[in-house]
Structures are given as C-alpha cells and as structure tokens.
Amino acid sequence: MLRKFLYIAITKRLCMIMRIFISQLFFFLITLTTVTSQAQSEELPNRLFKVHDTYRETTLTQRRFKQKDILPLIAKRQGNPLYKIETVGESFEGRTLQMIKVGNGKKKVLLWTQMHGDEPTATMASFDIFNFLEGKNDGFDDFRKELLENTTLYFVPMLNPDGAERYQRRTMQGVDMNRDAASRQTPEAVVLKGLVDKLKPDYGFNLHDQSPRYSAGRSAKVATISFLATSYDYELNINPVRERSMQLIVGMNKILQKYIPGQVARYSDDHEPRGFGDNVQKWGTTLVLIESGGYVGDPEKQYIRKLNFMAILSALDKIADNSLTKEKRDDYYKIPENGRWVYDLVVRNATVKQSGKSFLADLGINRNEVSYSNATKFFYYSKIEDFGDLHPQFGSQEIDATGLTIEKGKVYPTTYKNVSEVSKLNALSLLKQGYTYVRLTPDSNTRALGLYFTTTPLHVLRSGQAAPSGTPGLGNTATFILKKGAVVKYAVINGFVYDLDNFATGEGNGIIE
C-alpha cells in the first residue's frame, strides 16, 4: 500500500516536472523565435544605413541638379534587363517624364519625387536605390530577391523638371501641382493621375522636402523627416487603405528614431481636397507622404538622403513581406506634429537702445537662400524675421546676449575698387572697431561679375546703396554688433555670427548688397 502510494506520488511528481519542463521549453522557444525575428527586422535598416555609401550616386552631390543631370542616369539603364523604362509624358516646357519599372511582384508600388521643383532629396535617394538594386554579393541578395519577387516598383523621379530647372516649387505654369490633383490643368498632374488610373498601385510614395525650419512638436529639434498618412475626407476617417499607411509610417518612425532621435514629426492630417496625397488615398492606393526637412550641419541634405534610402527600402521590405500589419496604427498619433518655426539664429535678451530708452528683445534670424547662375548656385541673404519675446521658439544656433547691447555697425571711411581689395582687409580689426560695412567705388561693378557675396566676413555696400539707419530691428538685413560696454563681443554679418574673442579667419559669409 505504502509502496503503491509512493509510486503514484513519484509518478505524479515526475509528470509535474515534465510538464513544467515542457512548458518552459515552449516558452523558451517562443522567446527565441520572437527575439530572432526581431533581430532580423531590426538588422536590415542598420545594414542599409551602413551600405548606403557604397551605392550613393556620386554624380549627384548637391540639391540644385537639373533634369539634364539625371537623364544620363536613366539612359544608361536602358537595355538593362532589371528595368523597363517608359516615357510617360512631358512637362509643360516639353521635358520628357520617364518611369522606371523594376521587380515582378504582385504588390504594385508607385513612387514619385520632386513634384515640387525645389524638393530634390528623394530624387537623389532614388538613384542610390537603383544602384543598390543592381548590387550583388554584398549580403543583400536575399533581400533584393524577396523584394523584387513580391513587389513591382514604378519610380517617376523628378515629376516637375521645369520647376527643378528654376529651383522653384511650382511648375512652369506657376501652378502648385500638389493642388492640381482634382482640376489637372498641368500636364504633369495629368501624367500622375494617368499612372494611378492605369497601374492601380497598392502603395504610393509621394516624396517631398519641407522647410528645414519646422520643429518636431514643441521641441527645439528640427523635424528631419515628417510623415503624413493623408486623409481622404474632412472627417479624417480611417479605412484599411489609410490604416496601412499609418502602419508603414509607424514602422519607419521606429527605424529613424535610432538615427535622428526626436527629429521625426508628422504633418497635420487636415484634408486637402486638391492634394495628390489626399486624392490618391481616396482613389484606393495606400499613400505615404515623406517630407525631408532639416538637419543641422547638412545644408545639402546628404545625410537626409541617406535616411531616405534606408527608410524607403525598409518600408518596401515591410510591404514585400507584409510585416507592416504588425505595426499598431494608433502609434501614428504618438509621433509629434510639425511644430513651430526654428530660426537659423536666435539672439536672446539683447539690450536695444531706441529714442533714449532701452528694453530687452530676442531676434529671430533666417539665412535665406537666393538662387543665381540659372539657379545652379545660391548665396545666403539673412534677415531679422522676428523681434521681441521669442521664448517659446528656438534657434538652430543661439547666442545669449544678456548684458550685451545691439547696435548697427559703422561704415568704414575708405572705399575700395573691388571685392578682392576688400578681401585683403583685416576683418577682425575692423569688426573690433565696430565697422561692419565697407563701401565700393562707383566704377566697381560686382553685379556684372555675378558677385553677390564674399567669404570676407564684412557687409559690402555697392556704390549708391544706403547703409541702414537706426537700431537693427524687424525686416532689416541681419548685420549688427553686440557690445559689452565699449567692447564689441560679437559681430553678426549677414546672419552669421563672429565671436571676436575666438575669431576664425577665412570662413565668412559676407554679402554684397
């Protein structure tokens, strides 16, 4: 009896141990599978980020390229069995619009760039993607195979080549084609609508650049990438088409946070009945809008181009293997909205003396790009764009001017024949004496020479150009000095700051006005 009892007890105990062991084993296996699959899905973006330099299209090095710069990049792919290249129409000014098809999968993805002529970041990234798709034996062969077997990608790079020629947002007709989806008075809009009708893509990527001066939410950080899952109605409803767009964005946001923490935002999802994004979503294509914004120290957006490359390919991967459905759509709303303006420079708490009185003010200064040489180049022309209490706003660069008085600089009494004479001056010595302006003689014709700026950190006045009067304030060119008592501490020339105690020569952004 006792023996039997003991036998049952031991058996029961063994059973229990076995059960615990088996359940633990299951738990372990499940954990292992989850961890492994997570590691794989996390791994691809990192690997893409690293490999980008290998596949960067080296002929595109800055933003102001034209259609003539990308035509050879398309032409050299003619006859490559990877692609099918098709002329799909022409711009108002007669430039051909071409579509590059790659892949043979069921899921159709239409990607277009630069419908705004001065928004070229994703065009650069598209050519990096083509180079990448042509690669071999670099550890990405399985990814390429999966991608091109499951998706068919239709790229239309630089949809607005006339605008790109002038480096302007609008088309040759002066129309914003992202407000022309309904009326379609531009041939470029007709082409895009035609492609959406003909291809009936499952997914669309509407690739733009936004002002580099939006903050992400209320933070001081600029929004480097902003997303939008466009709304197809005023009620901001979410059908499965739009839900997938939110899921894709949630996935891309997670990836980007590692590289640009806190610098991803989303556009307000107000419905725009004339916008392509909104209408394409309405017509049944899951539409993702990507806006490349700003990144401090990257004026030519070469780092943002790399982020585009990584984010777009990672999103295509999520489409190819359908893993986008794992993302929670509500996380979309956790991404902060595009916030306030971040100025290029904020001067805080400067003492302003005016009409015998004094008060404190902050200055918000922007370094605006001005095109020249057929919009192939630009110089900066900087203005004081806000004045007063700017405490809720931020600057990409800030100076604490507490205890410093702002004054306009003086005009140096000697005049100079040309800019090269000006460049020989000891700028530091002049600035320390409070001279910010140097005047040219009447026979000096810098305009004819195409000279609008100088690397000498001085504000050069052409003959006849009046020096500003009064205290520097709203709307003025951002040239002034900041003094502590009688000593000039900082000179600001054309919106660029020179610390006179730590003066570095030869890197100025002076202006010829």
Closer to Zn ion at the Cβ: 231 or 494?
Answer: 231
The structure tokens listed for 12 are 């029961």
Closer to Zn ion at the Cβ: 144 or 213?
Answer: 213
Q: How far is the CB of 274 from Zn ion (least distance, A)?
A: 13
| DSSP-derived secondary structure for 395-438 | EEEEEE-TT-EEEPPEEEEEEESSHHHHHTS-HHHHHHTTEEEE
Within 10 angstroms of residue 378's Cβ, the number of other Cβ atoms is: 19
- In the chain, the largest separation of any two C-alpha atoms, in whole Å, equals 124
Closest CA to 121 of 205, 10, 242: 205
Q: Of the ranges 45-53, 118-126, 336-344, 379-387, which one interacts with Zn ion (CB under 5 A)?
A: 118-126
Closer to Zn ion at the Cβ: 56 or 208?
Answer: 208
Q: At 289, is the secondary structure helix, strand, or coil? A: strand
Q: How far is the CB of 119 from Zn ion (least distance, A)?
A: 5
Q: How far is the CB of 169 from Zn ion (least distance, A)?
A: 7
Q: Which of 56, 70, 113, 119 binds Zn ion (CB under 5 A)?
A: 119
Q: Of the ranges 3-11, 112-120, 221-229, 235-243, which one interacts with Zn ion (CB under 5 A)?
A: 112-120
What residues are paired with 286 via a beta bridge? 203
Within 10 angstroms of residue 360's Cβ, the number of other Cβ atoms is: 13
CB half-sphere exposure, 54, CA atoms < 13 A: 15
Closer to Zn ion at the Cβ: 116 or 144?
Answer: 116
> CB burial class (10 A; 0-12, 13-18, 19+) of residue 58?
exposed
Closer to Zn ion at the Cβ: 148 or 265?
Answer: 265
Query: Which amino acid does the sequence have at 478?
Result: A
- Binding flag, residue 57, Zn ion (CB under 5 A): no
- Within 159-218, the residues that bind Zn ion by CB under 5 A are 208
Q: How far is the CB of 178 from Zn ion (least distance, A)?
A: 6
Closest CA to 202 of 253, 151, 274: 151
Place of tokens 């499965």: 240
- Binding flag, residue 278, Zn ion (CB under 5 A): no
Q: Rg (Cα) of the chain, in Å, rounded?
A: 29
Q: How far is the CB of 383 from Zn ion (least distance, A)?
A: 23
Closer to Zn ion at the Cβ: 211 or 368?
Answer: 211
Strand-strand pairing, 203-209 and 107-113: parallel
- Binding flag, residue 116, Zn ion (CB under 5 A): yes
Q: What are the Cα distances from residue 233, in Å, to 99, 291, 311, 370?
A: 29, 21, 27, 38
Closest CA to 171 of 153, 185, 151, 155: 185
Closer to Zn ion at the Cβ: 122 or 250?
Answer: 122
Closer to Zn ion at the Cβ: 103 or 120?
Answer: 120
Q: How far is the CB of 341 from Zn ion (least distance, A)?
A: 17
Q: Of the ranges 74-82, 83-91, 108-116, 502-510, which one interacts with Zn ion (CB under 5 A)?
A: 108-116
Element holding 281 (H helix, E strand): helix 276-282
Q: How far is the CB of 150 from Zn ion (least distance, A)?
A: 29
Q: How far is the CB of 264 from Zn ion (least distance, A)?
A: 17
Q: Of the ranges 101-109, 111-119, 486-494, 496-504, which one interacts with Zn ion (CB under 5 A)?
A: 111-119
Closer to Zn ion at the Cβ: 159 or 315?
Answer: 159
CB-nearest residue to Zn ion: 208
Closer to Zn ion at the Cβ: 207 or 419?
Answer: 207
Count of residues of this chain found to bind Zn ion when the rule CB under 5 A is applied: 3
Q: How far is the CB of 266 from Zn ion (least distance, A)?
A: 15
> CB burial class (10 A; 0-12, 13-18, 19+) of residue 14?
exposed
Q: How far is the CB of 428 from Zn ion (least distance, A)?
A: 42
Place of tokens 């304030």: 473
- State the residues that interact with Zn ion by CB under 5 A: 116, 119, 208
